[in-house]
Amino acid sequence: MSLLPSLWSSSSDKDPFHSLHREMNSLFEQFGRGLPSNWSNPDGRFLAPTVDVAETDDEMTVTAELPGVAEDDMHLSLVDNILTIKGEKKAEETKEDEDKKYRLVERSYGSFQRSIPLAFKADPDGVKASFKDGVLKVTIPKPADAEPKSSRIPIGKG
């Protein structure tokens, strides 16, 4: 590989792309620091609370951890068999120490939304939700005809 002219490189880095790569890695490592780990998903989306979905023969239960979110800042909806949890997280922390003469105020705000598709047609009137100690629990009863249907699909030759 031929190197670019010295105009494009520094004395310590002969390849400007190596330097760019190092800077980009540093940027991505710093991004997201300070966010609570339970507000990021494995796919990298931030401000999306972790959700547990459990299912029995009679109902589906969705549990979402929402620390620091007020009940008034949440909205639940069930549209076209998709349960959606929307909300806004508002946090402010103030620290003061007159002996050391410092004051620190940190604020964080952000909206979030999680949508969970249901494998059955739910009756919105039967859905129950409760919120206690930062944990939202939504219980969705299954209709009697919600049994999974399976059928064999024939595979044809190309």
pLDDT in tens, 102-145: 777 777 777 888 899 988 888 888 999 999 988 999 999 988 87
pLDDT in tens, 4-61: 555 554 555 567 777 787 888 777 666 655 555 445 444 444 467 789 999 988 899 9
pLDDT of res. 45: 42
d(CA 105, CA 103): 7
pLDDT in tens, 68-83: 788 998 999 999 889 9
Q: Provide the Cα torsion 73, 79, 81, 87; round to 10°.
A: -10
Domains parsed from the chain with CATH numbers: 37-141 (2.60.40.790)
